[in-house]
Structure 1
Amino acid sequence: MGVQKFEDLIAWQKAQELSVEVYKSFDVNKDYGFKDQIRRASVSISNNIAEGFDRSSNADFSRFLYFSLGSASELKSMLYLAKKLQYLNESDFQQMLQMCNEVSKIIRGLINSLKPKT
């Protein structure tokens, strides 16, 4: 029996955990534009996984997984900027970067699993 709901997907679960870390880490940050953008990028990862899961085909799901992967890349870019701006210490930066890389790797694997077998 395959996955029945998006909540069962490891990619979605890990993306949610990453969003929680982002929200916590930037909670008191006063750069509201930056804080809003990095939070939206983090939430977009799991939201695109969820939205794509309930689409009508593997091709549609795959398209949304690519959107999710793009959001993960946006988040990574913002994490680097947050470190340069000293919004994050080295430890928090490394932790979230590692989480982001893990989520991206899982999403890539999911995309590859949806490709038609030749």
Structure 2
Amino acid sequence: MATVERFEDLEIWKLARELVNMIYEVTSDNKFAKDYGLKDQIRRSSVSIMNNIAEGFESRTVKRFINYLGQAKASCGETRSVCYVALDCNYIDQEKFKKLYTLSTKISGKIKRFIDYLENYDSNDRIKEAMVEYKSC
């Protein structure tokens, strides 16, 4: 097991960053880029995943971290939902949709397993002081 000392060490944060990069790439396409509302919505929801993981880790208590992880997981659902709209509007093709959907569900599942781990954690110690370790799923 790897010791987590910074949010940048978390696999779920790294995957969320990858998703954000994919979202920014597909929303820069001509059709999608012109739908300012939808483009903004999917960008904000994907960035929210990344930021909630980071903010939760920096909050430094297990209980608060779990709450932020719940918000990150919810943002995964929002991102997937907007992907359906983008697919239905023909802003993305089935292949791009599948990649985004697959990565967002992977992140969501890993967040869920991490929440489960933290909920069974014996203490509400500060994250850094406890040196939380978690198994990559």
Same fold flag (TM > 0.5): yes
Q: Which structure 2 residues correspond to residues 62-73 of structure 1 after superposition, within 5 A?
A: 62-73=66-77
Q: Which structure 2 residues correspond to residues 47-62 of structure 1 after superposition, within 5 A?
A: 47-62=51-66
Alignment of 1:42 onto 2:42: no
Q: What secondary structure, in the 3-state scheme, does the structure 2 residue paired with 1:54 have? A: helix
Which residue of structure 2 aligns with residue 12 of structure 1?
13
Deviations 1:41-66 (A, max 9, x none): 00000100000001131010000000
Identity %: 37
Q: What secondary structure, in the 3-state scheme, does the structure 1 residue paired with 2:59 have? A: coil
Match of 1:30 among 19, 29, 34: 34
Deviations 1:75-115 (A, max 9, x none): 01000111011111010000110000100011011101101
Stretches of structure 1 that go unaligned for 5 or more consecutive residues are none
Paired with 2:91 and 2:7, the residues of 1 have a C-alpha distance of 32
Stretches of structure 2 that go unaligned for 5 or more consecutive residues are 123-137
Match of 2:117 among 85, 106, 113: 113
Query: When the two structures are superposed, what TM-score results if normalisation uses the length of structure 1?
Result: 0.96
Query: When the two structures are superposed, what TM-score results if normalisation uses the length of structure 2?
Result: 0.83
Alignment of 1:94 onto 2:94: no
Instruction: Specify the code of the residue in structure 2 equivalent to 1:115.
Output: E
Superposition deviation, residue 116 in structure 1: 2.9
| Structure 1 runs, 4 residues or longer, greater than 4 Å off | none
Paired with 2:35 and 2:92, the residues of 1 have a C-alpha distance of 13
